[in-house]
Amino acid sequence: MNKETSKKVDISSEDIVIQIVNMHKWFGDFHVLKNINLDVKKRERIVVCGPSGSGKSTLIRCINRLEEHQKGQIIVDGIELTKDLKNIEKVRSEVGMVFQHFNLFPHLTIVENLTIGPIWVRKTPKKEAEEIAMYYLEKVQIAEQAAKFPGQLSGGQQQRVAIARSLCMKPNIMLFDEATSALDPEMVKEVLDVMISLAQDGMTMVVVTHEMGFAKSVAHRVLFMDEGEIIEENSPDEFFNNPQNDRTKLFLSQILY
């Protein structure tokens, strides 16, 4: 990975693609997200970190409405997320999501996992969808496994397939929910490499991760969350070298050694 060049991809446009305004969410009585405000610009890469239970996963799951917020606004690509199912489906098809546990469809082959979205949501002809699928499988360097089933692949390979599956929908934004947390250590790098190459291509990314190396080298901004609030928000340099908040300092002291 070339850290310097990847950092220099500038945010060329000031278009805001994700806008979250005064957003709150509760699970029952439990206030998981408190007054979240966040603007994500096009081509911007944001890393969200924080202790477990801080609400960071819930936050990015709200962005494609896997969780429903109860107060405030979330506007993705100009579409406000409300109860309107059509809007939700539209946003979901524009926003790619990668899960901790891959969530590939075990009854479908790798290539079928990739084509199902384009064929059924985008109405792409099967042949064309397969070409797109093979293109992205090449990109994540796994094309030779196309005819296998997910159960026959290693965790790292499965996660790369999952990333390719999201990319096949040609998303404007990619969300990563602890994409490397469930992997064996030796497989983390192959997945991070794919994420870094995606960053170099200028993808807008919101990444929940514990990989601080990735945050340092790839992120434009790092958000620190604790107890449902965004406590600190800064450039990676400032965030790691000069944290402002005590809770951030404590968190960093526990994970960096």
**Residues at the contact surface with other proteins, assessed by CB under 8 A:** 64, 66, 85, 89-90, 92-93, 95-97, 99, 101, 103-107, 116-117, 120-121, 149-152, 162, 165-166, 169
CB-nearer residue toward other proteins: 11 or 182: 182
What's the token pair of residue 79?
A: 């579409």
CB-nearer residue toward other proteins: 97 or 198: 97
CB-nearer residue toward other proteins: 50 or 150: 150
Q: State the nearest-atom distance from the C-beta of 187 to other proteins, in Å.
A: 19
* Distance between CA atoms of residues 31 and 116, nearest Å: 36
CB-nearer residue toward other proteins: 28 or 106: 106
Q: State the nearest-atom distance from the C-beta of 157 to other proteins, in Å.
A: 15
Q: State the nearest-atom distance from the C-beta of 96 to other proteins, in Å.
A: 8
229, 35 contact by CB (below 8 A): yes
Report phi then psi at 201, rounded to 5: -80, -5
Q: State the nearest-atom distance from the C-beta of 150 to other proteins, in Å.
A: 8
Sheet arrangement for strand 71-76: 30-41, 16-27, 71-76, 79-80
Q: State the nearest-atom distance from the C-beta of 147 to other proteins, in Å.
A: 12
* Distance between CA atoms of residues 66 and 74, nearest Å: 13
CB-nearer residue toward other proteins: 99 or 136: 99
b/e 1-20 (16+ beta carbons within 10 angstroms → b): beeeeebeeeeeeeeebbbb
